[in-house]
């Protein structure tokens, strides 16, 4: 069995192993990490040898920590990272490079249609009728997208929304409200098979699916990192928020979508969103404006160039061919707008 895991902010860990009699056998850990002293790698292999195959990530990491020499120094590697690679091997997890990725980047569409397309495309991936897909959104109008479990009245000021012509929609994933405007926001979705995140905890899957975009930002001179549970941050502040939804049916799939701030009008955002003091204190800041740090200022690049650079970075890493929303997918999405995402019943399902 073979498992790989890119440690967030670190290096690649590779594990090869067998299972005999319910225990790990012939365990070999490798990767492009740095580790001192040399015998520490042998200690890691020995710690995992004979471990029950049902040992969870915490238990495997504890075995490794207990076996390492006191002088051990790990760079780009963690005990937890090795443990995750083991669990991915046992789960027969796939890797990014195992798939033929498809890109969808089409003309601006309504907020409700974007919500519906996320559901339809990810369902198609789960059913095996569509390859894993990166979809870059273009917005036809300003919007607030609230999380699946958020209270509409607690999150949105309807007077402010009407004043600025902002449409309010509810997505299928959890998380917080996002304020978007055409030309000022970068939004993308990843619709991926369950197998890509097999062996990862829900929290670890966020970091794993965000790793490519951290590299893309780094190529543009932005040092960014994953900030648990679902943010992407820089020294200057938060620049993006992610959310996920697990789709059942077929082999299963994960929807992972991210909204990035390119050039947000903070005054307008505060006029539309009801951002409470508790949320501010949770983020360690007193001002909502400080929570949004636009990419325009950090890159000095037009929004379109930032998007093109992100797409190129993904293509260079994993390959990417251009695709489209099929007529059948669009018809199903439009029906979902009519029956679900465009209805007051869905938008106000948590009043």
- Position 278 pLDDT exceeds 70: no
Give me the chain's average pLDDT, please: 93
Read off φ and ψ for residue 335, nearest 5 degrees: -65, -40
Higher pLDDT, 147 or 285: 147
* 3-state SS track over the chain: CEEEEECCCCCEEEEEEEEECCEEEEEEEEECCEEECCHHHHHHHHHHCCCECCCCHHHHHHHHHHHCCCCCEEECCCHHHHHHHHHHHHCCCCCHHHCCCEEEECCCECHHHHHHHHHHHHHHHHCCCCCCEEEECCECCCEEEECCCCCHHHHECHHHHHHCCCEEEECCCCCCCEEECCCCEEEEEEEEEHHHHCCCCHHHHHHHHHHHHHHHHHHCCCCCEEECCCEEEECCEEEEEEEEEEECCCCCEEEEEEEEECCCCHHHHHHHECCCHHHHHHCCCCCHHHHCCCHHHHHCCCHHHHHHHHHHHHHHHHCCEECCCCHHHHHHHHHHHHHHHCCHHHHCCCC
Of the listed ranges 122-131, 242-251, 285-294, the one predicted with least confidence: 285-294
- Can you tell me the distance from the alpha carbon of 152 to that of 157, in angstroms, rounded to the nearest whole number? 9
Q: How confident is the model at residue 291 (pLDDT cuts 50, 70, 90)?
A: very low
pLDDT in tens, 18-30: 999 999 999 999 9
* 3-state SS track over 196-261: HHCCCCHHHHHHHHHHHHHHHHHHCCCCCEEECCCEEEECCEEEEEEEEEEECCCCCEEEEEEEEE
pLDDT in tens, 68-127: 999 999 999 999 999 999 999 999 999 999 999 999 999 999 999 999 999 999 999 999
- Position 284 pLDDT exceeds 50: no
> Would you state the pLDDT for residue 287?
53
Q: Look up residue 314 and give its two tokens.
A: 């993904």
Q: pTM of the prediction?
A: 0.91
> Would you state the pLDDT for residue 11?
95
Percentage with pLDDT > 90 across the chain: 88
Q: Do residues 3 and 86 make contact, with C-beta atoms less than 8 angstroms apart?
A: yes
Percentage with pLDDT > 70 across the chain: 95
Q: Look up residue 6 and give its two tokens.
A: 């890119």
Q: How confident is the model at residue 237 (pLDDT cuts 50, 70, 90)?
A: confident
């Amino acid at each position: 069995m073979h498992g790989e895991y890119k440690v967030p902010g670190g290096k690649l860990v590779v594990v090869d192993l067998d299972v005999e009699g319910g225990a790990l056998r012939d365990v070999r850990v490798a990767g492009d990490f740095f580790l001192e002293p040399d015998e520490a790698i042998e200690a890691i292999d020995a710690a995992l040898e004979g471990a029950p195959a049902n040992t969870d990530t915490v238990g495997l990491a504890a075995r490794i920590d207990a076996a390492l020499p006191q002088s051990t120094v790990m760079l780009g590697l963690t005990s937890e990272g090795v443990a995750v690679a083991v669990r991915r091997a046992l789960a027969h997890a796939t890797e990014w490079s195992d798939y033929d990725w498809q890109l969808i980047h089409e003309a601006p569409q309504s907020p409700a249609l974007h919500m519906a397309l996320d559901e339809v495309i990810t369902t198609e991936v789960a059913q095996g009728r569509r390859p894993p897909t990166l979809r870059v959104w273009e917005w036809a109008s300003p919007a607030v997208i609230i999380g699946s479990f958020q209270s509409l009245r607690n999150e949105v000021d309807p007077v402010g929304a009407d004043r600025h012509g902002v449409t309010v929609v509810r997505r299928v994933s959890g998380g917080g409200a996002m304020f978007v405007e055409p030309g000022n926001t970068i939004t993308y979705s990843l619709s991926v098979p369950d197998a890509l995140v097999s062996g990862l905890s829900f929290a670890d899957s966020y970091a794993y699916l965000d790793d490519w975009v951290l590299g893309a930002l780094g190529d543009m001179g932005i040092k960014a990192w994953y900030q648990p549970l679902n943010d992407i941050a820089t020294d200057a502040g938060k620049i993006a928020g992610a959310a996920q939804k697990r789709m059942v049916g077929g082999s299963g799939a994960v929807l992972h979508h991210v909204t990035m701030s390119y050039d947000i009008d903070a005054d307008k955002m505060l006029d539309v969103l009801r951002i409470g003091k508790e949320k501010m204190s949770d983020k360690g800041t007193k001002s909502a404006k400080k929570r949004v740090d636009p990419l325009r200022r950090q890159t000095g690049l037009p929004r379109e160039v930032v998007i093109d650079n992100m797409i190129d970075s993904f293509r260079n890493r994993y390959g990417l061919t251009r695709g489209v929303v099929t007529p059948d997918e669009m018809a199903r999405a439009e029906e979902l707008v009519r029956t679900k995402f465009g209805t007051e019943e869905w938008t106000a399902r948590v009043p």
